[in-house]
Structure 1
Amino acid sequence: MKILIIGMGYVGTTMGVALANTGHEVSGLDVDKAKIESLTKGILYFHEPALQEMLSKHLQTKRLSFTSDPKEAIKDNEVIFITVGTPSLNNGNADLTYIRQAAEMIGKYKNSKKIVVVKSTVPLGTTENVKQWIEEATKDSSPFDVVMNPEFLREGRALQDALNPDRVVLGSHSDEAFNTLEQIYSNLNCPFIRTTPVAAEMTKYASNAFLATKISFINEIARLCDQFGIHVQDVAKGMGLDDRIGGAFLQAGLGYGGSCFPKDVKELLWTADHRGCPLRILKEVERVNHDQPQYFIEKVMKEFPSLADKRIVLLGLSFKPHTDDIRESVSFSIIKKLLQEKANVIVHDPIVKLPNEWVNKGVKQINDPYEATEGADLIIICTDWPLYQEIDWAKISELVKGHYIFDGRNILEADCIKKLGFTYEGIGYD
């Protein structure tokens, strides 16, 4: 099947590669010519495991191509996916500028029957608006259907999720559209859910909101564990073995970040408040997550009442491992607080380059973890990169000035680290 994907961001690029891998002929469209030029050359402009190799493979098979010409792209393809961004406005509501532009573009150049698939995360009722925007912009009388098909990709394993999803949710009023999408995804071995567009939109938001809730819940439990000298990981393991709860997202730490959870929680809260049906639990989820970095800094300052002129090494800049995404990364909240306390901050990340705005504020990046930690008064772990579990902490113990580790992701074996002479503090540890 000939498929067009509008929006060559994280989701669009991943889905384009995945669909090409299942035999479809896929075109990727974006108004950002730099992105198109990079992808056409086979150069992935963001980090995602295994995606680079598969991108190169399907450029060679000719099942994947990229363009910045909307007219020909829309005319030539029968199924069109919309995967553009929906960033948050200041009030928490989603900005639908790019969604509307994509819909109007489809309407303008549509010349035959199309199935339009909204895969961007959009507020409740947006899929119906997309249909209206296409109708208002079109001069072509041929019919079209609009389907809501939310994505459930996790950064760091997005390609795996695209090729082996837990479920496919389809929201439409058209049996023909349902059948076409199920044909596109016919290689997938997972449940298919047929529902209405607005229910599909809600499924995406509710899923992310629930996962965010699990994270904030275990972080609150971790705070109480600190008061009783309890290892929160023991508690999480005991909880997670109950199949009604499950162990995923019960890792206590610095809280959630990234491009999805913060934005989606804000949007769902805005929607609920706007309808006069406030989500009280979710408001507390957001508050707990917002407060978690400050709670962690307070743990640091119990050991160091003054951080002025301390050489503090922060390990990890991305919001989670296996990605270079720093959007809403807790690491930068920690850095900001350290700078306010007049600390000297050195950072390390295996992939992320420190943005210039932080370099200009005096933060220094060192690419070798051993060189970075040399002379450190204390070390803070902000991202649970496997590298930080695998490095030689005995060697680091010989390099540092002060033997203090504050593990914001609970990734190190506390007893082993303490035997090396470190004072170790995690979240939810005695």
Structure 2
Amino acid sequence: MNISVIGTGYVGLVTGAGLAAKKHNVICADKSSEKIATLQSGGLPIWEEGLEEILKEAKAQQAISFTTNITQAIQKSDLILIAVGTPSLADGDADLSQIYNIGSLIARESTTDKIVVLKSTVPPGTGDNLKTLLNESSNHGVTFEVVSNPEFLRQGSAVSDFFYPSRIIVGCSTDEARKAMEQLYKSFPCTIQFCDRKSAETIKYAANSFLAMKISYMNMLATLSEELGADINEIKEGIGSDPRIGSDFLNPGLGFGGSCLPKDIKAFMKTGANHAVPMTLLQEVLKINEKQPDLIINKLKSFLGTLKGATISIMGLSFKPNTDDLRDAPSIKLVHHLLEEGATVRAYDPLVHVYPLDEVSLFPDPYTTVEDSDAVIFVTEWDEFKSLNWKSIVSNLRLPLILDGRNMFELKEMKKIADQHDLIYCSIGRPNIYKGLGAVKVKNK
């Protein structure tokens, strides 16, 4: 199939590269000349595991090309995938300006019938509105069909998720569109659920909101666990072993972030408000999430008394491991709070080499990062942190205070490390570990 993908962000680029690998002819179009120049020269504007390899292969097979000429991409394609951003407006609603601007362009420039596929996450009803816009604005008497085909790609594992999806959701209203989508996905190893456009759009928001709800629920339980003296990891295992609940997304920590969950919940709440259906449950989900970074700040203060003049090291800045994406990352709020309290912030992340706050000093490895620091906070659960040389970490710290914002380390393991190296270890929803001289040093600061 001849396909254009408009937008070369995390969704558009992975989708375009994946479809090219599936032997489709793909044009990736973006208004950003910088992104396109990077892609044409063999570089990547984003980092995603496995993406470089499949792009290289697709280019070698001449199955994919990149352009800023969106009009040309539209005219050369039978299937047009829209994968542009829908960021939050001030009232929480999704900003659909890019969707409708592209829709107007498609309507003006198309000289043959087109099927337009919405990959972007949009409020229910957007596909219907886009179809009306396309068919009313056409200059050449062509017919348009709009399909809602939400993506379920997880940053950090998006390439694998593309090739091995758990499900494919397709919202359409004609046999022609259905046949085109069956052709597009015929080689994928999962069932396609066909439904109407509004249901498909709602599925995406409902799924993301439910996942966020599980995270906030566990964070609420973690706070209670600390007051009770219980262990949230034991609680997680106990409830996660129930097949009706499952173990995914039950990890307490600093809260969720990224480009999807926060904005999608706000947009879903706005959708409810627009239809007189208050989404009060989701309000609480966001409220709990907003408070999570503050819990770490309070733990720090309980040991250090004040953060003014303290040096704090941050391990991990991206909103999740295996990505360089900082959008709505919990580290942002945490760092802001530390700076407001008068702390000096040092940080390390394997993929983040530029940070939006100049006051934060970035270092090339964990060991130089923690030098002369009063505490270290683990913010992103990168695998490399699980094999640290704790002797070097503790000896480089001014005070051996470890705060684990993701419960990365087992308590039994940290007790052994504390016995060897004298430190205080604090996590989320679990008992603190006080051991040896480390505890004395922190308490006497």
TM class, shorter-chain normalised? over 0.9
The correspondence of residues 382-401 of structure 1 with structure 2, limited to 5 A, is 382-401=379-398
Q: Quote the residue 1:416 is aligned against.
A: 413
The alpha-carbon deviation at position 14 of structure 1 amounts to: 0.5
The correspondence of residues 207-222 of structure 1 with structure 2, limited to 5 A, is 207-222=207-222
The alpha-carbon deviation at position 291 of structure 1 amounts to: 1.0
Q: Which amino acid aligns with 1:358?
A: L
Assess if the C-alpha contact under 8 Å between 2:9 and 2:46 holds in 1.
no
- 1:358 counterpart SS class: coil
Mapped partners of 2:157, 2:38: distance in 1: 22
Mapped partners of 1:366, 1:71: distance in 2: 44
Q: Quote the residue 1:328 is aligned against.
A: 328
Q: Quote the residue 1:403 is aligned against.
A: 400
Which residue, 342, 360, 365 being the options, matches 1:363? Answer: 360
TM-score using structure 2 length: 0.94
Q: Quote the residue 1:255 is aligned against.
A: 255
The alpha-carbon deviation at position 410 of structure 1 amounts to: 0.5
The alpha-carbon deviation at position 138 of structure 1 amounts to: 1.4
Q: Quote the residue 1:23 is aligned against.
A: 23
Assess if the C-alpha contact under 8 Å between 2:293 and 2:334 holds in 1.
yes
Q: Quote the residue 1:152 is aligned against.
A: 152
Q: Which amino acid aligns with 1:266?
A: K
2:399 is the counterpart of 1:379:
no
RMSD (Å), alpha carbons = 1.1
Q: Which amino acid aligns with 2:197?
A: P
Q: Which amino acid aligns with 1:68?
A: T
The alpha-carbon deviation at position 383 of structure 1 amounts to: 0.7
Unaligned 5+ segments in structure 2 are: 432-445
Q: Which amino acid aligns with 1:383?
A: T
Unaligned 5+ segments in structure 1 are: none
Task: Please say which of residues 33-42 and 120-129 is displaced more in the overlay.
Answer: 33-42
The correspondence of residues 14-413 of structure 1 with structure 2, limited to 5 A, is 14-355=14-355, 357-359=356-358, 362-413=359-410
The alpha-carbon deviation at position 428 of structure 1 amounts to: 0.6
Q: Which amino acid aligns with 2:361?
A: K
Q: Which amino acid aligns with 1:368?
A: D
Mapped partners of 1:32, 1:88: distance in 2: 21
- Give the length in aligned residue pairs: 427
- 1:259 counterpart SS class: coil
The alpha-carbon deviation at position 70 of structure 1 amounts to: 2.3
Deviation readout 1:351-377 (Å, 9 max, x if unpaired): 10242x411xx3211112111112211
Q: Quote the residue 1:428 is aligned against.
A: 429
Q: Which amino acid aligns with 2:386?
A: Q
Deviation readout 1:119-153 (Å, 9 max, x if unpaired): 10011100011112212331111222110000001
- 1:395 counterpart SS class: helix
Mapped partners of 1:96, 1:317: distance in 2: 29
Q: Which amino acid aligns with 1:411?
A: M
The alpha-carbon deviation at position 303 of structure 1 amounts to: 1.2
Assess if the C-alpha contact under 8 Å between 2:134 and 2:144 holds in 1.
no
Mapped partners of 1:413, 1:310: distance in 2: 27
Mapped partners of 2:279, 2:238: distance in 1: 29
Mapped partners of 2:160, 2:35: distance in 1: 23
Mapped partners of 1:22, 1:100: distance in 2: 29
TM-score using structure 1 length: 0.97
The alpha-carbon deviation at position 165 of structure 1 amounts to: 0.5
The alpha-carbon deviation at position 69 of structure 1 amounts to: 1.4
Assess if the C-alpha contact under 8 Å between 2:135 and 2:144 holds in 1.
no
Mapped partners of 1:21, 1:89: distance in 2: 36
The alpha-carbon deviation at position 104 of structure 1 amounts to: 0.8
Mapped partners of 1:11, 1:290: distance in 2: 26
Task: Please say which of residues 72-81 and 87-96 is displaced more in the overlay.
Answer: 72-81
Following TM superposition, the consecutive aligned residue runs of length 4 or more in structure 1 with deviations greater than 2 angstroms are 413-420
